[in-house]
Structure 1
Amino acid sequence: MLLVFLLSISVHLAQAQTKILEGQVLNSRTGEPVPFATLGVPGRGLGTVADEQGRYLLRLPPSLSDTLIVSCVGFSSAVISPTALAAGKRVFQLAPQEHVLSEIKVEHRRMRPALLGNTKSKGDIFWMGGSSGKRTVDTEWGWEFGALLKPVRKTYLEEFHMYLSANNYELLRFRLNLYAVEQGRPGRALLSQDIQLVCTKQQQGWLTVDLRPYEVLLEAQPVMATVQWLQSEKTDPEDKYFSIPVMRQSRQIMVERENSQAAWTVHDMQPSLYFTVMTE
């Protein structure tokens, strides 16, 4: 009984020490919602992801004096100052980025199919996301995880594949991100279109998304490919988790961060994700 009482006190103290911000992320040009925009505090494990209507619930410590970064693929990021947050600013606007699409001509006589990444469905350990016994995991949305890939020739991405060894969510949504490599970590974002993977009904095994409509071309240079956790739904708060197999490596090629603005960490492992490609 004493243990239950102490746990209850601990929960109430944690709630009292958390400041909850609720609002919406909008397109500054059209006024429409920006679905699944990310919100994060630079260099810290604080952040979340907005829903389909751009609405967010962000839990922050009351004494926070850092800026907040709001971002989404295809938009310029917005920097929200602590002063603006303290003054009650809760609706954030993102400006669409202008992109001039260059024509891509694929000469199939010069191309051959290939694979890029780790195609194995088994690993040495399982990298897990989610929490048990919590009614919400919104503080974990925005978590990002991926690997270093090294195309040796000009490469067109046709499909992306990721393996889920476990999944008891009724809905899981991820975003595919590609980054230039800067000082051994993800740097400049390379994609201008929002590419998502959605799995329902506790789907497990290989998840696949067709990349041909996006016409993604990689040059012959290293790239970081990651998936970012955007959304999850499960009625029962118990046993909410998913896992991805990873294999141990002799070099650090796996990257991870807690949310969209947290610091990247690197690991001597390789996750089960790969691309089906056409390469020169």
Structure 2
Amino acid sequence: MLPSTAAAQLIVGNIVNKATQQPIPFVNVGLPKRGLGTVSDEQGHYQLRYNPAYAADSVRVSSVGYEPRMMPFAALLAGANVGLAPLTVSLTDVNVVAASVYSRTHTLGLDKPRPKFNFSLRSNELGTEIGTVIQVERRPSLVQSLHVVVAKNETAPLTLRVNVYRLDSQGQPTTEKLLQRDVLLTTSPQTGVLTADLTADRLVLTEDCLLAVELVKSSGPGTPDVSKLYFGGALGYGGQCYARLASQGAWIKPTVKSNVPLLGKKLQVAFYLTVKD
């Protein structure tokens, strides 16, 4: 799905805050229709390999806290630097729920993966993602923390961004992120559970969502080998697994071959939330 090495060219640029001209870290840059994209580094610098035949396509540039931009790819080729405007949030009526209402603490998602039932990211490109639908049992649910089960890791340390996406009316992931800041996790050679505290975010879920991890940085030399990083998983009756190859790319449902009927079971990745409801 990526352009051939012979045809590919490289564009290099920077993503900055349009108001302050300060660099924006870990910005998603990609051609949604091509499954081609990348993520900027901490200094807002990005490199994107592309095929010149894609000049008539559109490119999407987005980051939490900023207005996303959809622009002709030809315009990006003409001037590789991009400014994003800070997002203006219009306040609406808010229903305040007393903290005492959230009395039960429990987990949502797959917290007990099956042995040897593991998943890996689908490509080595920055921006590749894998996630699972979190089914919210009681609404509203106040998120306390998120967890990612690493079953095996034999590659260099990787930085993963955790994203929580709103679903559309058909249950498909949208581009809207419910978590309004970058939450980063770094893998290590040890297996176990990577955890992030979200109590300060006051993230309240009133609907199902997609909990995903996205590759945004590799600490090792060269291209990271994501095939050596495994997340726990299972085949069960919980939320559906989704994946995408590159930044801003289309989401797909991984499939499984089986000699017996699945009876409605779905592939699940061992990502879960601790909530109060």
TM superposition score category, shorter chain reference: 0.7 to 0.9
Residues 95-129 of structure 1 deviation map (CA, whole Å, 9 limit, x = unaligned): 11123676855422552111111101445532123
Instruction: Compute the TM-score of the two structures, normalised by the length of structure 2.
Output: 0.83
Q: Secondary structure at the match of 1:16?
A: coil
- Give me the whole-angstrom Cα distance separating, in 1, the residues matched to 2:195 and 2:68: 29
Residues 188-223 of structure 1 deviation map (CA, whole Å, 9 limit, x = unaligned): 51425223232254343100000011110011x222
Percent identity over the alignment is 29
**Correspondence 1:224-243 to 2 at 5 A:** 224-235=210-221, 241-243=228-230
1:71 aligns with 2:62: yes
Residues 50-81 of structure 1 deviation map (CA, whole Å, 9 limit, x = unaligned): 00001001011121131111111111111221
| Aligned residue in 2 for 1:7 | none
1:47 aligns with 2:37: yes
Structure 2, unaligned runs of 5 or more = 255-265
- Give me the whole-angstrom Cα distance separating, in 1, the residues matched to 2:239 and 2:118: 17
Which residue identity lines up with residue 229 of structure 1 in the other structure?
A: L
Which residue identity lines up with residue 75 of structure 2 in the other structure?
A: A
Q: Given the superposition, is the C-alpha separation of residues 67 and 99 from structure 1 closer, same or farther in structure 2, using an over 3 Å criterion?
A: same
Which stretch shifts more, 41-50 or 184-193?
184-193
- Give me the whole-angstrom Cα distance separating, in 2, the residues matched to 1:238 and 1:255: 21
Residues 132-183 of structure 1 deviation map (CA, whole Å, 9 limit, x = unaligned): xxxxx4xx11111111122122100000000111223443222222222222
Structure 1, unaligned runs of 5 or more = 1-12, 132-136
- Give me the whole-angstrom Cα distance separating, in 1, the residues matched to 2:26 and 2:143: 24
Which residue identity lines up with residue 146 of structure 1 in the other structure?
A: G
- Give me the whole-angstrom Cα distance separating, in 2, the residues matched to 1:141 and 1:230: 5
Q: What RMSD, in angstroms, separates the aligned Cα atoms of the two structures?
A: 2.5
Deviation at 1:32, TM superposition (A): 0.6
Q: Given the superposition, is the C-alpha separation of residues 236 and 22 from structure 1 closer, same or farther in structure 2, using an over 3 Å criterion?
A: closer
Q: Given the superposition, is the C-alpha separation of residues 203 and 44 from structure 1 closer, same or farther in structure 2, using an over 3 Å criterion?
A: farther
Instruction: Compute the TM-score of the two structures, normalised by the length of structure 1.
Output: 0.83
| Aligned residue in 1 for 2:19 | 29
1:78–1:93: 8 Å Cα contact kept in structure 2? no
